[in-house]
């Protein structure tokens, strides 16, 4: 078993990230339930409003640098140390500057940009997390490039545990003091989680990761000349990525800001609009995104793996990665349609005590296949160096979503936003697939990625319908556990049918990589 994972780093890395991602999201669910019952749906909406600013900062100082470090480390591991050091200097300097700007102009950003003055005291606290995010992102990029995902995987758990513990502790202290628990507690948890994960990854790197020195350094720290040499190509890749991510995050931020504003035009009050926004982004979307822990893990390890195969001229390796990612993204997405359309209403009521959340989950179920496919296909395109292509595709997708938000919500309410998400992800998936067909002449097998999993899902749901509803459970257990058991039965049936029809994929196609 050990030798298998040693020889299959893509599978091993994806599995480890998946397991920790699922565990982290399970903890996150209990955390979301706690927040929804402590600060309420409107409080969740206010909390989500600070993330447009946070996302913009991440795109400038962390996300693009992490991707560049990962790709250059994978392509040239002998110069990984100087790549990391150069990336860290750039990223951390930007992070400190952005944090200072947010603290200085928090009032203006809250009232004039986010259109929500209640975010003013939250932004300075959130700004403290940005330098920590920079440290964490750079080190994770280095580990991903080395295809060593243990530390980044564990850092997810560290971040989530510290965040939850911090918020629970603050809430307990405030309740004992007779103070109401406000959104500020959730922001404090965000900062503590980012600081904890940054410290964990830094200590892990200093104690275990930096033992093998590279480059012309004697002391283990890359020489200044080598760092400057590494900074030029790093910036050459990071700057376009940074511009792409910045544009994308600006548009995503505009979408997040517009949703409550356009909801008011549909006839809701500001409080009602924020409550609906909180239910969507704080309750329904995290539920639908839960299975994406598997797909996101696959996407993270795909980029350096594809980059490495491309640098070696290994055509079959690239095709194998594409085929694997496409197939399993489709399997997961089709399963999620069946799960969330069948049990979405029950989950919304049982977990969040919100019929509206259940309705949103059922509608968003159709988002899953396209969301998962676009995530993995986008990672493959980035691994092939086609970052400008993925940027253009994402731009088109976001413009579609914004059109639904701007023109649709005043007439159809929040459902226009949901259908806009679906339309945007559908367009994005088709664009990614079109580009991959041109680049590598890859055409997915319709039977393998659509017909077979759909038939397996229908068969599993058909057999499940023969079971009594509700399933007999001990009287002391809440109904939620019955729903979880039902979902487990459907998933088990689906997996068994997939195994029954399994055929070892043939990656030796006539496809070519251009």
From the list 511, 374, 384, the residue with the least C-alpha distance to 442 is: 511
Maximum Cα–Cα distance for the chain, whole Å?
71
- The percent of residues in the chain predicted with pLDDT above 90, rounded, is 26
pLDDT, tens digit, for every residue of 169-199? 999 999 888 888 889 999 999 999 999 999 9
pLDDT of residue 473: 65
Q: Which residue has the tokens 């939250």?
A: 122
DSSP string, 79-130: GHHHHHHHHHHHHHHHHHHHHHHHHHTHHHIIIIISS-GGGTTHHHHHHTHH
CA–CA gap between residue 493 and residue 465 (Å, rounded): 12
Q: Vertex 252, ends 281 and 355: CA angle to 5°?
A: 20
pLDDT of residue 214: 47
* 111/324: higher pLDDT: 111
CA–CA gap between residue 142 and residue 218 (Å, rounded): 21
Instruction: Tell me 281's DSSP state.
Output: I
116 touches 110 (CB < 8 A): yes
pLDDT of residue 300: 59
Asked if residue 301 has pLDDT above 70, the reply is no
* 15/271: higher pLDDT: 271
Asked if residue 124 has pLDDT above 90, the reply is yes
CA–CA gap between residue 452 and residue 465 (Å, rounded): 20
Show the 3-state SS of 16-32.
HHHHHHHHHHHHHHHHH
Token duo for residue 37:
């019952």
DSSP string, 455-486: HHHHHHHHHHTTS-SSPP--TTS-HHHHHHHH
375 touches 403 (CB < 8 A): no
| 470 to 100, 125, 485: CA distances (angstroms) | 55, 46, 10
Token duo for residue 366:
């159709």
144 touches 63 (CB < 8 A): no
- Sign of the dihedral through C-alpha 303, 304, 309, 311: positive
pLDDT band, residue 234 (cuts 50/70/90) = confident
Asked if residue 475 has pLDDT above 80, the reply is no
Residue 271 — φ and ψ, nearest 5°? Answer: -65, -45
What is the CB neighbour count within 10 angstroms for residue 214? 18
CA–CA gap between residue 55 and residue 172 (Å, rounded): 30
pTM (predicted TM-score)? 0.70
Mean pLDDT estimate for the chain? 81
From the list 32, 69, 217, the residue with the least C-alpha distance to 145 is: 69
- Sign of the dihedral through C-alpha 145, 149, 155, 156: positive
Asked if residue 510 has pLDDT above 70, the reply is no
pLDDT, tens digit, for every residue of 420-453? 999 999 999 999 888 888 877 776 777 778 888 9
Mean pLDDT calculated for residue range 212-219? 43
pLDDT, tens digit, for every residue of 377-393? 887 887 777 877 888 89
pLDDT of residue 302: 62
Rg (CA), the chain: 23
pLDDT of residue 409: 93
Phi-psi group of 507: left, alpha or beta (phi > 0 → left; psi -120 to 50 → alpha; rest → beta) = alpha
Which residues, 6+ apart, have CB-to-CB distance to 50 below 8 Å? 114, 119, 122, 123, 126, 187
Q: Tell me which range, 104-118, 199-213, 229-243, 444-458, is most confidently predicted by mean pLDDT.
A: 104-118
CA–CA gap between residue 13 and residue 173 (Å, rounded): 40
pLDDT band, residue 513 (cuts 50/70/90) = very low
């Amino acid at each position: 078993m050990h030798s298998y994972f040693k020889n299959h780093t893509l599978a091993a890395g994806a599995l480890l990230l998946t397991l920790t991602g699922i565990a982290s999201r399970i903890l996150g669910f209990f955390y979301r339930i706690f927040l929804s019952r402590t600060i309420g749906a409107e409080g969740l909406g206010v909390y989500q409003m600070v993330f447009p600013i946070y996302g913009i900062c991440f795109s400038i100082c962390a996300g693009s640098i992490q991707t560049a470090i990962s790709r250059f480390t994978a392509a040239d591991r002998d110069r990984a140390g100087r790549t990391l050091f150069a990336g860290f200097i750039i990223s951390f300097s930007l992070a400190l500057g952005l944090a200072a700007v947010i603290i200085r102009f928090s009032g203006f950003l809250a009232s004039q940009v986010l259109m929500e003055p209640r975010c003013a005291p939250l932004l300075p606290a959130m700004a403290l997390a940005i330098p920590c995010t920079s440290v964490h992102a750079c080190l994770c990029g280095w580990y991903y490039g080395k295809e060593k995902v243990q530390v980044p995987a564990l850092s997810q758990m560290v971040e989530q545990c510290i965040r939850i513990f911090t918020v629970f502790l603050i809430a307990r202290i405030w309740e004992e003091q007779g103070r109401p628990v406000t959104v500020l507690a959730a922001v404090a948890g965000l900062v503590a989680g980012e600081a904890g994960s940054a410290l964990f990854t830094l200590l892990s790197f200093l104690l275990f990761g930096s033992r093998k020195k590279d480059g012309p350094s004697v002391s283990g720290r890359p020489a200044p000349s080598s760092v400057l040499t590494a900074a030029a190509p790093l910036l050459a890749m990071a700057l376009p990525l940074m511009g792409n991510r910045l544009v994308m995050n600006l548009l995503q931020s505009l979408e997040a800001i517009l949703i409550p504003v356009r909801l008011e035009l549909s006839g809701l009050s500001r409080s009602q609009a924020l409550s609906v926004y909180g239910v969507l982004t704080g309750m329904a979307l995290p539920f639908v995104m839960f299975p994406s822990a598997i797909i996101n893990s696959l996407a993270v390890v795909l980029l350096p793996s594809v980059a490495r195969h491309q640098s070696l001229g290994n055509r079959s390796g690239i095709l194998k990665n594409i085929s694997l990612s496409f197939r399993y993204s489709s399997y997961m997405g089709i399963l999620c349609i069946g799960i969330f359309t069948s049990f979405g209403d029950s989950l919304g009521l049982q977990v969040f005590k919100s019929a509206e959340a259940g309705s949103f989950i059922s509608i968003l179920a159709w988002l899953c296949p396209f969301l998962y496919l676009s995530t993995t296909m986008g990672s493959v395109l980035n691994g092939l160096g086609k970052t400008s292509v993925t940027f253009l595709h994402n731009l088109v997708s976001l413009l579609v979503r914004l059109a639904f938000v701007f023109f649709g919500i005043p007439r159809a309410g929040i459902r226009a936003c949901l259908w806009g998400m679906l339309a945007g992800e559908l367009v994005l998936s088709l664009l990614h697939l079109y580009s991959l067909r041109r680049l590598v002449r890859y055409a997915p097998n319709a039977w393998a990625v659509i017909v077979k999993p759909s038939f397996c899902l229908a068969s599993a749901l058909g057999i499940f319908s023969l079971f009594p509803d509700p399933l007999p459970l001990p009287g002391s257990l809440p109904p939620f556990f019955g729903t979880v058991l039902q979902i487990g039965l459907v998933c088990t049936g689906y997996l068994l049918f997939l195994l029954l029809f399994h055929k070892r994929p043939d990656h030796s196609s006539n496809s070519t990589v251009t």
